[in-house]
């Protein structure tokens, strides 16, 4: 079909679509205007808005992207995908900017609402995780590549998949969703989310706010859709749905295995249990500061957060002393035993995992200490103390601000124990050392997606180290820190013997 005819056809389709949205043309009401706050970007709360969106009638009753059924959400996201395909990449860039601006401007309110709903983590970090969404890469990553030679010109471009199914964790409900939206829509896709039920309200509030602003800016609703009352069954429906082209799953072992078993392309950001090795050459003050900063971040909810430390005997006591100077509070052996009894119950079957007490996940260090009758000084960020590898805090992903320190004979033994404690997740490992041989040995053995030297875990996501941010670190499927290219198909466009003019 000649380009001119194609162009005329898409212009006519766009005009008809626009007309269909005007009042009195049978297409429902126009998109609501966002609240004025100088920037056109609204400050919004998680409360349910009064009206249902313009595309709702056509797409099964959605409320600015919030749907009751997977079928309706997929249909709406498919319709939005088809509209997005007819839009320029500049419109995707507008979407990216909207998500970044809304997260920054609503960070305080949304962070508070996320904490109130999930009841895990720290307010300062809930807010910060939304403020830093601006570090997530967008359309600027879609750089095409080319080959040019005697036989013409070949261009490699990045095409979207279509509708993506997204699963988000309770540990960072809205930040994960917002980062995924930026990556996925920048790449030209739309998305249906099944959020964690305990973080669904804030996720839905974000989706409503995003869609309102998208509709205002580029005239498309439902670029992002979400299931209002998510369940394991609705997640499974997404995994099986014919209208979903790929999955992006961020969560623990159960959902990671379910996604790996789904018969779809899956980007799986699975669990971790990041170990830290500290050898005799390390800068101990920097190591202690880094461990406290990383493990105390959002009360150790980060999948990349430092969960257990293996330190060589010759510097062990000095390292523990440095922890005390950096915001840590040292528990005695009996205090650690008491906390362990509260935090874990014995495995259900011989050789199985100790069972984590979810009520303690993401609680403040002072709250954990209180449970065992200890009052910690104000400003305490992290509890720590000496344990051995038989303590369940070492092999289990505890997600609470207590970090066990295990004494090792030498760096070789510390690295071997670190390797065992990570269970082959291949997620994240950290070393504090000035010995490049130890770094190399650990890097090779651990084979993790993130390997951080001499900094806190967050430096692996561009926060104090080089690189960019995402809250979905794809580990078993190997994509690493996700970015727009993770959600594209590589397309080769070939012109034979023409267009090369040298
Ligand atoms: P979770 O596994 O309990 O829940 C994650 C999501 O999966 C939720 O939406 C939940 O409803 C759903 N789900 C759980 N089991 C399922 C199943 N069998 N089938 C379908 N859906 C299922 O995890 P969480 O407590 O919300 O988050 C913490 C976990 O996520 C930790 O293990 C952490 O390491 C991991 N995580 C990984 C990354 C990463 O980037 N790799 C990021 C954040 C969290």
Tens digit of pLDDT for each residue in 373-384?
Answer: 999 999 999 999
| Residue 131 near residue 104 (C-beta atoms within 8 A) | yes
Mean pLDDT across the chain: 91
The whole-angstrom separation of Cα 449 and Cα 456 is 15
pLDDT of residue 62: 82
> What is the CA(338)–ligand 1 centre distance, in A?
28
Nearest to 453 by CA among 443, 462, 468: 443
What value does the mean pLDDT take over residues 189-206? Answer: 98
Q: What is the distance in A from the centroid of ligand 1 to the CA of 252?
A: 4
Residues 163 and 304 in one domain: no
Section 80-107 average pLDDT: 98
Same domain, residue pair 246 and 333: no
Atom of ligand 1 minimally distant from the CA of 475: 41
Same domain for 250 and 142? yes
In 3D, which of 334, 297, 307 has the Cα closest to residue 398? 307
Query: pLDDT-derived band of residue 500, with 50, 70 and 90 as boundaries?
Result: confident
* Residue 495 pLDDT greater than 80, yes or no: yes
> Phi, psi at residue 202, to the nearest 5°?
-70, -35
Tokens of 146: 């080319």
* CB atoms inside a 10 Å sphere around CB 285: 14
Q: Which atom of ligand 1 is nearest to the CA of 239?
A: 20
Whether 422 is in a domain gets the answer yes
> What secondary structure letter does DSSP report for 412?
H
Question: What is the pLDDT, as a whole number, of residue 499?
Answer: 86
- 295 and 324 both lie in a single domain: yes
Q: What residues are paired with 138 via a beta bridge?
A: none
Is the model more confident about 376 or about 44? 376
Q: Is 5 contained in some domain?
A: no
In the reported structure, the alpha carbon of residue 451 is separated from the centroid of ligand 1 by a whole-number distance in angstroms of 22
Q: How far apart are CA 312 and CA 466, in angstroms?
A: 28
Cβ burial of 217 (10 Å; 0-12, 13-18, 19+) is middle
How many Å lie between the centroid of ligand 1 and the Cα of residue 225? 19
Asked whether residue 133 falls in the same domain as residue 74, the answer is: yes
In a domain, 498, yes or no: no
* pLDDT at residue 60 in the model: 54
Q: Which residues contact ligand 1 via a Cβ below 6 A?
A: 167-171, 194-197, 232, 235-236, 250-252, 254-255, 258, 269-272, 303, 397, 471-473, 475
Asked if residue 22 is part of any domain, the answer here is no
| Higher per-residue pLDDT: 317 or 36 | 317
How far is it, in rounded angstroms, from Cα 227 to Cα 72? 10
Are 317 and 407 in a shared domain? yes
Contact 93, 135 (CB under 8 A): no
Please check whether residues 230 and 367 belong to one and the same domain. Answer: no
**Any domain includes 34:** no
Q: Band the pLDDT of 61: cuts 50, 70, 90.
A: low
Q: What is the pLDDT of residue 351?
A: 83
Nearest CA, atom 16, ligand 1: 255
Q: What is the tens place of the pLDDT at every residue in 115-167?
A: 999 999 999 999 999 999 999 999 999 999 999 999 999 999 999 999 999 99
- Eight-state DSSP code of residue 41: P
Residue 12 has pLDDT above 70, yes or no: no
Please name the residue that has the structure tokens 């103390």.
385
Tell how far the Cα of 260 is from the centroid of ligand 1, in angstroms.
13
More confident of the two residues 20 and 214: 214
330 — pLDDT class (breaks 50, 70, 90): very high
**By percentage, how much of the chain surpasses pLDDT 90?**
86
Do both 203 and 307 map to the same domain?
no
The model's confidence at residue 48, banded by pLDDT at 50, 70 and 90, is very low
Which residue in 377, 362, 394 sits closest to 330, CA to CA?
A: 377
* 18 CA from centroid of ligand 1 (Å): 40
**pLDDT value of position 44:** 52
pTM of the model: 0.89
Domain membership of residue 291 (yes or no) is yes
pLDDT band of residue 336 (cuts 50, 70, 90) is: very high
**Best mutation site among 174, 252, 428, 458 for ligand 1, i.e. most ligand atoms within 8 A of its Cβ?**
252
CATH of the domain at 218: 3.40.605.10
Tokens describing residue 355: 């069972």
Q: Is residue 373 part of a domain?
A: yes
Instruction: Specify the ligand 1 atom closest to the Cα of 268.
Output: 41
Q: Are residues 170 and 289 in the same domain?
A: no
pLDDT band at 45 (very low <50, low <70, confident <90, very high): low
Which range, of 175-189, 374-388, 472-486, 488-502, averages the lowest pLDDT? 488-502
Q: Atom 41, ligand 1: which residue's CA is nearest?
A: 269
Q: What's the total number of domains in the chain?
A: 2
The CATH number linked to 379 is 3.40.309.10
The rounded distance, in Å, linking the Cα atoms of 424 and 447 is 8
pLDDT of residue 155: 96
Q: What is the pLDDT of residues 219-237, one digit of tens each?
A: 999 999 999 999 999 999 9
| Residues 331, 427 share a domain | yes
Return the pLDDT at 88: 98
pLDDT number for residue 87 = 98
1 found inside a domain: no
Same domain, 423 and 447: yes
Q: How far apart are CA 456 and CA 339, in angstroms?
A: 25
Q: Do 279 and 253 share a structural domain?
A: no
- Please list the alpha-helical segments (H only) found in 51-167: 70-85, 89-105, 107-118, 123-131
What is the domain range of residue 329? 275-465
Mean pLDDT within 419-443: 98
Sign of the CA dihedral 379, 385, 391, 394? Answer: positive
**193 touches 205 (CB < 8 A):** no
What's the Cα-to-Cα distance from 184 to each of 191, 279, 312, 348, 485, rounded to whole Å?
8, 41, 44, 40, 9
Atom from ligand 1 closest to the CA of residue 195: 9
pLDDT value, residue 38: 33
Query: From CA 43, how far away is CA 462, in angstroms rounded?
Result: 27
| pLDDT tier for residue 49 given thresholds of 50, 70 and 90 | very low
> If you take atom 11 of ligand 1, which residue's CA is the nearest one?
196
């Amino acid at each position: 079909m000649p380009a001119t005819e194609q162009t005329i056809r898409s212009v006519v389709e766009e005009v008809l679509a626009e007309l269909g949205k005007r009042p009195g043309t049978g297409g429902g009401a126009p998109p609501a205007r966002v609240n004025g706050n100088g920037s056109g970007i609204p400050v919004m709360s998680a409360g349910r808005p009064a009206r249902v969106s313009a595309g709702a009638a056509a797409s099964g009753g959605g409320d600015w992207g919030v749907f009751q059924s997977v079928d309706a959400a997929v249909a709406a996201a498919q319709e939005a995908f088809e509209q997005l395909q007819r839009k320029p990449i500049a419109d995707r860039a507008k979407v990216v900017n909207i998500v970044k601006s809304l997260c920054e401007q609503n960070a305080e309110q949304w962070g508070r609402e996320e904490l109130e709903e999930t009841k895990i983590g720290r307010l300062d970090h809930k807010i910060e995780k939304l403020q830093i969404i601006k570090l997530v890469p967008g359309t600027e990553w879609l750089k095409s590549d080319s080959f040019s030679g005697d036989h013409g010109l070949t261009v490699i471009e990045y095409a979207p998949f279509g509708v993506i199914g997204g699963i988000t964790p309770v540990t960072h409900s809205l930040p994960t969703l917002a980062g995924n939206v930026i990556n996925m829509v920048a790449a030209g896709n739309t998305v249906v989310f099944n959020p964690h039920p305990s973080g669904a309200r804030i996720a839905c509030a974000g989706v409503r706010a995003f869609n309102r602003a998208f509709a205002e800016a580029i005239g498309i609703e439902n670029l992002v859709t979400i299931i209002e009352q998510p369940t394991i069954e609705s997640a499974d429906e997404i995994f099986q749905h014919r209208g979903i082209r790929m999955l992006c799953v961020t969560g623990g072992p159960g959902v990671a295995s379910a996604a790996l078993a789904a018969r779809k392309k899956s980007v799986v950001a699975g669990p971790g249990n990041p170990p830290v090795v500290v050898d005799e050459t390390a800068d101990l003050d920097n190591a202690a500061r880094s461990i406290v900063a990383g493990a105390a971040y959002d009360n150790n909810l980060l999948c990349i957060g430092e969960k257990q430390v293996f330190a060589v005997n010759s510097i062990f006591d000095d390292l523990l002393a440095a922890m005390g100077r950096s915001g840590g509070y040292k528990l005695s052996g009996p205090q650690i035993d008491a906390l362990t009894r509260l935090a874990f119950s014995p495995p259900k079957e011989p050789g199985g995992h100790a069972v984590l007490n979810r009520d303690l996940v993401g609680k403040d260090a002072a709250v954990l200490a209180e449970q065992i009758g200890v009052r910690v000084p104000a400003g305490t960020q992290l509890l720590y103390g000496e344990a051995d590898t038989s303590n369940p805090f070492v092999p289990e992903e505890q997600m609470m601000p207590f970090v066990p320190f295990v004494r090792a004979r030498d760096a070789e033994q510390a690295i071997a124990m670190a390797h065992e404690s990570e269970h082959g997740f291949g997620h994240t490992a950290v070393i504090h050392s000035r010995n490049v041989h130890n770094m190399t040995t650990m890097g090779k053995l651990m084979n993790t997606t993130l390997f951080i030297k001499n900094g806190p875990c967050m430096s692996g996501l561009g926060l104090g180290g080089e690189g960019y941010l995402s809250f979905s670190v794809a580990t078993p499927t190997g994509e690493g820190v996700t970015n727009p290219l993770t959600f594209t198909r590589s397309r080769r466009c070939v012109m034979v013997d023409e267009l090369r003019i040298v």
